[in-house]
Structure 1
Amino acid sequence: MIIKTVDAVFDPFSVGGVLRSAADRFADRRALRFGDRSATYSQLFDEVVERARGLIGLGVRPGDHVGILMPNCWDYVILYYAANLVGATAVLLNARYRADDLAYVIPQSDVSLLIVGGHARRFTDYRPMLRAIFPELDRWNGGPLSVAAAPALRGLVEIGDDRPGSWPADAAFHAAAGSVAADEVIERAAAVRADSVGMMIFSSGTTSRPKACMLTHRSLALTADALATRFRLTPDDRVWNPLALFHMSTMLPMAACRAAGACFIGMDRFNPDDAMDLLKVERPTVHYAGFPTIISALVTHPGFAAYDQAALRINHVVGPPDLLRRYGELFPGAVAVNSYGLTEATGVPCYSDLDDPEDLLYETSGSLFPGMTARIVDEEGRPVPDGVAGEICLKGFGIFAGYYRDPDATARAVSADGWLHTGDLGRIGPGGRLIYDGRLKDMLKIGGENVAAVELESFLVTHPAVRMAQVIGVPDDRLMEVAAAYIELNPGHSLDQDALIRHCLGSIASYKIPRYVRFVDSWPMSATKVQKFELRRAFVPDGKIDVTAYTRAGA
C-alpha cells in the first residue's frame, strides 16, 4: 500500500507518510495542543513543511543527524517532524542534560546541526554550557564551523530566545526557507524509507555512559498502530501527556495519536496548578501520565475534587499494585492501564488490555502486542517455565536497530537470533501477561529516567577528594527512586556533603544528583567487588538533601 498525494508517494510506514495520511484523512480534526497553541492535522502538516524548508536551506541532507536540545514546546514537535520529513535522523537530547552529559552525547551521536531552545532559559540556559564545552562556539557567528571535540557538527541554530547573541536564530530558519520550494520537501519525504533510522534517543545502560538507541520509522509506526488499537483511539480522543518529548513515553503515544487522528495534548513544563487548569478545560479521554510522580501531584491538588472526569476512559500509570489500586479508586470511571517497556523496544510494547479484570490490571504489565514476543531466561540464557522469575527477553517488530557507533554493545544486547536481553527481571503470568519484578542491571529509575549507577560513580570520582564512589537506588515518595552515594575520600583530603552537591550542580542533570550522601572508611566486600546489597540493607533514609534549595541559594 502506498499513500498518494498530489506531488509524490510516501512510504506508509515513514513518519512523514503517517503525518501526510493524517493530514488527508483527518484534515480538520485537532491534532496537537502545546501551551496556548493548537493546530488541526492539515495545519500541522503545513507548518512542518515550512520548517522542513528551513532545514533544507540550512544544508541538512538525507541521513544527517539533527540534534534537538530544548525543553518541551511547540517548536520541538515541529522540528522533530520536519527532520524526519527531509530524511534526517532526529537526535532527541535530554533537556535535563548538563555540561558533562552534553560533552559526551553530541559528539557520540554525530550531530551535524544542533538546534538549541531558549524557551526555558530561566530554568536551563544552554548557551554558557555549550560555550564551555565547545570553545569554538564562543565567538562563532554563523560562518563555517569546525569543532575539534565534535567533528560532525557543522552548524547551530538557537530559537525561542529573544536575548542578543551571535548564533543564528529564528530568522535564520525563515531566511533559509526562502530558497527552498515546498515541492523539494515533498520529494525528500517521498524518498524516506521505513527501515531508515528516524530517531535516536539516549538510554542509560550498565556502562558509564548512555547509548544512542536507533529507532526506525517502521518500528515506530507499527508500535504506534498497535498502541492505537490497544487503546481503541479514534479522532474523538484527547490524549493528555505531560511527559518529556525526549522520551518514548511521549513520542510513542503522539505517534499513536497521528495514526488514529486523535489529539495529543502536551505541556511545556508540568506543574500541578497548570495541569489541573488544562485538564478542566480539555477534559481528556486518556491520561498518559506514566509515572506516580505525576498522578500523585494531581490527586493531592486542592482542585482535584472539582475535576470532571466524565470523559476519561483510560488512566495510564505504572507502579506497584497497591499504589495502582489507590489510583483506581480516585479515577473510578477509567480503566487503569499498566505497561512495561524500554527504549530499545520502541518504548512500550506491552500494555494492559482494556477488558482485563481489575486484579490483572493492577498486578501485571499486560500483554505484548501481536508481533512481539516475550520469554524469560535464567542466568545461563535458558528459557524458564511460566511463573518463574528470570531475565525478560523480547523479540519482534519493535526491537531497535542497535546502538549508534557501538556494535559490541548491540551484540551484547541482541542475540544473533533477534532476542533483546532487557536486563530486567520478570515472569510470564496469567494468560501470557508479563509481570515486571525489577532490574537485574545495576540501574536506577529516577522519576521514570533510567540512570546507570556506574555513570554517577564515574562522575563523582572526578572530584579530587573522592577516592571511590558507590551509588545505590533508594525509594522516594516523589521520584519513585533516587540516588544515594557512598563516598570514600583520598587520604589527606576533606570533603563535606555541601561541597559534593555543588560539584554536581550544573555538571550533571539535577535528577541524577544524589539525595543522600554517606562517607565511609571501608566497604563490605566479596572477593573482588563491593557488595551493594549490604549497602542497601544498611541504608537508613535520614538526612535527605533538598537539591532545589541549593539552586535557589545560587549554589
Structure 2
Amino acid sequence: MLAFARLSKRSFSSKLSYMHYVGRTPLVHRNVGQQLDIAVEKYGNREAIVSRDEGKRLTFNTLRDQVDRLAVGFVKIGLERGDRVGIWAPNYLHWYLTMLAASRAGLVSVGINPAFQGPEVLYCLNKVGIKALVAPETFKSQNYYNILETIDPNLKSCDPGRIKSDKFPSLRSLIIDSKTNHSGAFTFDDLLGMSSDVESVQKNLSTIQPDFPCNIQFTSGTTGSPKAAVLTHNNIVNNGLVIGQRNEYENQIVCNQNPLFHVFGVIISIMACVSKGATLVLPTAGYNPEQTLKTIVEEKCTMIHGTPTMYVDLIKKQQELKLPMDTVKIAVTGGAPCPPTLYEDIKKVFGLERVKTIYGLTETTCCIFQSLPKESEDHMKTTVGHLHDHVEVKIVDDKGDMVPFGERGELMVRGYCNMYEYFGDEDKTKEVKQKDGWLKTGDQFVLREDGYGVIVGRLKEMVIRGGENIFPKEIEDFLSLHPDIVEVNVIGVPDERMGEELCAFIRLKEGSSLDSEALKKYCKGKIAHFKIPKHIRIVDAFPKTASGKVQKFKLREIYDKS
C-alpha cells in the first residue's frame, strides 16, 4: 500500500518506466550545521559518537561544543567560506569532527582514501585546491607527514599555516592529530584550543545557504582520472533524513564498518545518524571483523553497517567466535550487489529482524533506492529497494527513449539528490548531468511498477572490489610505466569474498619475465593496495576489433578457461 500511496499521477498515465515517488514528508531547506542544532535540542544528552580505538565518547551536547571550537580554529588559521579542507585519515574521531566543523564554518570537506600514496594524494590536493589538510600521524604502515615531506622536503622549513610549495600550491595548513609537534604543521589540539568564541559560529550559521557546496567525493571515471563530485548541504541533509526514516534509526546504536571518506560513511552513517539522534559507533580505525563483533556485544549495538564483503567476513568470524548477538536487530548493506544467499546468511547468523539494502551513486548523494521499513523477503532478496522520496527515475534505451516497465535500460535520475557538479570539470559534468536535470548513471537497470528496482549490470567497465569502485584504465595507465610491459589490459573477475578482483593481462617485452609477486612489489607504495591486481596473465597478443579496440569480454573468456 505504502509503495503506491504517494506515487505521482504521471506514474499511472503510462506503462513506460518513469516514476516519481513524492514521499511522506516534504523536503527541508537547511544546512548541515542547522541539522546538528536540531539534533542537539532533541537528543542533547544522548551519545552521538563512540570511537572505540581512541576510547572517546561524545554526547550531542559535547559534540557540538567540540565541532564549534574546531570551526573557530579553522577560521583562525585563515580559512574562508568555500575553502576546501581535506581529511586524509581512517575512521578516527577527528574525521567525524572535521567534517561537521567544516560544514558549520561554511567550508567544504574533502574525503581522501587513507590508503592513498604520494602521487594519489597529490592529485587530490591539487585537483580541488585543498587549502588545509587534516591527517593522523600514522596508521598501519602509513606515515602521513613523511609522505607529504617526501613530495616536498621544504615542508619542514615552513611555519604552521604558511605552507608554500610548488608541488601543492593551494595548501597552506597541515593539521596532524598527534601529541608530537611536526615542523610546518599544527596539532589537532592546537585548533581546538585556539578560541572559546563558539558563539561566532552560531551567528554565521544562518548565512550558509543550503545550496552551497558542503562535501567533495572523489569518484573515478571511464578515463581513469578521479573526478570530484561536489555535494551540497541540501543534498546531504535531505538524503540523510530519508535514510534515517527508511532505516528506522530512531534510538539505534549503529556499528559502522564502512570508511568515513566514502559517501556511505558521510551520508548513511554520519548524516542519517545525526538526523535521527542515533549513536554512531566506530569499532576500529581500520577494518577488523573480530573487533567489530566484540564492539557489537560490548556497546550493545542494535544496527550494523557494511558492504557485502564485510558481511562475508563478519559471518565467517562469528561462526568461529559464536558471540552473543542479543541486541542487534537490523543490518544495512550497500556499496555492491548482495547475493540472495548472503542476505539469508546475514539474517540467520546474527538472528536479525531485518536486512536492508541500499542503491545509489556518489553523484546522487548516495541513496536513490532503499528498503522500506516493512517489506517482503522477496523484495529484500531480489531488488535494491524502493525508489527514494522526492526522486524521479526513468529507464532509457541507447537512443534515450524510455522503455516499458520491466525492461532493462540505463537508469536516469532527477531530483534534489543530484550532485552540484564535478569540481573544475564542466565537460565531464555535462556528460552525465543534462540540461533538463536528468543524470545518467551508466548502470543497466530494471524498474518495476511497484517502485522497486533491480540492477542488471554496469554499462561502464567499473570493477567493484569489496565496495571499492575501481576503473581499469587508471591501473592500466600505471602498469604501462613498468619497463618490461609493452601493453596491459585490466578486467574484473569473480571472487567469492570480494565480489570482484582485478586481473591484469600483460604483453611483455621480448625476453622479459614477470610474475604476480614481482608485479605486487612494483605497485606497493605507489598505488592504493586495493588497486593492485590479484591475478596476472601473460599473453602474446590481445583480441581486438577491426578498428583496433581490445575485446575485453574475450579476456574474461580466457580467464575462465585458465
TM-score (structure 2 length as normaliser): 0.89
Please point out which of 239, 246, 249 is paired with 2:261.
Answer: 246
Please point out which of 161, 177, 188 is paired with 1:170.
Answer: 188
Q: 1:168 to 1:370 in 2, by over 3 A?
A: closer
Shift of 1:345: 0.6
Conservation of the 8 A alpha-carbon contact between 1:216 and 1:401: yes
The one-letter amino acid of 1:285's match is T
Shift of 1:128: 2.7
Conservation of the 8 A alpha-carbon contact between 2:84 and 2:109: yes
TM-score (structure 1 length as normaliser): 0.90
The one-letter amino acid of 1:147's match is S
Task: State the distance in 1 between where 2:326 and 2:499 align.
Answer: 26
Paired position in structure 2 for 1:226:
242
Matched, 1:80 2:99: yes
Paired position in structure 1 for 2:555:
535
1:361-389 deviation digits (Å, cap 9, x = unpaired): 10001111121122111111211111111
Paired position in structure 2 for 1:411:
430
Pairing of 1:485-496 with structure 2 (within 5 A): 485-491=504-510, 493-496=512-515
Q: 1:501 to 1:343 in 2, by over 3 A?
A: same
Q: How many residues align?
A: 527
Shift of 1:288: 1.6
Structure 2 counterpart SS, 1:409: helix
Task: State the distance in 1 between where 2:404 and 2:373 align.
Answer: 27
Conservation of the 8 A alpha-carbon contact between 1:394 and 1:419: yes
Identity fraction in percent: 30
Shift of 1:499: 2.9
The one-letter amino acid of 1:169's match is T
The one-letter amino acid of 1:396's match is G
Task: State the distance in 1 between where 2:40 and 2:397 align.
Answer: 48
Shift of 1:48: 0.6
Paired position in structure 2 for 1:92:
111
Conservation of the 8 A alpha-carbon contact between 1:70 and 1:118: no
Paired position in structure 2 for 1:497:
516
Shift of 1:419: 1.1
Conservation of the 8 A alpha-carbon contact between 2:330 and 2:356: no
Pairing of 1:103-142 with structure 2 (within 5 A): 103-120=122-139, 122-142=140-160
Matched, 1:458 2:477: yes
Please point out which of 298, 305, 316 is paired with 2:322.
Answer: 305
Conservation of the 8 A alpha-carbon contact between 1:424 and 1:441: yes
Conservation of the 8 A alpha-carbon contact between 2:304 and 2:328: no
Matched, 1:148 2:163: no
Paired position in structure 2 for 1:192:
208
Pairing of 1:333-372 with structure 2 (within 5 A): 333-372=352-391
Cα-Cα RMSD: 2.0
Shift of 1:56: 1.2
Paired position in structure 1 for 2:219:
203
Task: State the distance in 1 between where 2:346 and 2:325 align.
Answer: 16
Structure 1 counterpart SS, 2:422: coil
Q: 1:391 to 1:136 in 2, by over 3 A?
A: farther
Structure 1 counterpart SS, 2:363: helix
Please point out which of 206, 213, 220 is paired with 2:229.
Answer: 213
Pairing of 1:27-46 with structure 2 (within 5 A): 27-35=44-52, 36-46=55-65
1:441-462 deviation digits (Å, cap 9, x = unpaired): 0111111011111111111112
Shift of 1:533: 0.2
Task: State the distance in 1 between where 2:359 and 2:188 align.
Answer: 39
Shift of 1:314: 4.2
Considering Cα pairs closer than 8 Å and 6+ residues apart, tell me whether 1 or 2 has the greater RCO.
2
The one-letter amino acid of 2:559's match is F
Shift of 1:163: 7.2
Task: State the distance in 2 between where 1:70 and 1:514 align.
Answer: 24
Q: Which moved more, 1:515-524 or 1:424-433?
A: 424-433
Shift of 1:339: 1.8
Task: State the distance in 2 between where 1:198 and 1:399 align.
Answer: 14
1:312-371 deviation digits (Å, cap 9, x = unpaired): 144435512232233233344321212211100101221111321101110001111121
Matched, 1:237 2:252: yes
The one-letter amino acid of 1:244's match is P
The one-letter amino acid of 1:316's match is T
Pairing of 1:368-379 with structure 2 (within 5 A): 368-379=387-398
Paired position in structure 1 for 2:288:
271
Task: State the distance in 2 between where 1:523 and 1:208 align.
Answer: 20
Matched, 1:255 2:271: yes
Q: 1:184 to 1:437 in 2, by over 3 A?
A: same
Q: Which moved more, 1:164-173 or 1:386-395?
A: 164-173
Shift of 1:167: 3.1
Task: State the distance in 1 between where 2:116 and 2:199 align.
Answer: 37
Conservation of the 8 A alpha-carbon contact between 2:397 and 2:403: yes
Task: State the distance in 2 between where 1:151 and 1:443 align.
Answer: 32
Q: Which moved more, 1:494-503 or 1:56-65?
A: 494-503
- The unaligned stretches of length 5 or more in structure 2 are 1-27
Shift of 1:399: 0.5
The one-letter amino acid of 2:227's match is K
The one-letter amino acid of 1:181's match is D
Shift of 1:540: 4.2
1:505-527 deviation digits (Å, cap 9, x = unpaired): 00110001000011111011111
- The unaligned stretches of length 5 or more in structure 1 are 1-10, 543-555
Paired position in structure 2 for 1:4:
none
Q: Which moved more, 1:21-30 or 1:533-542?
A: 533-542
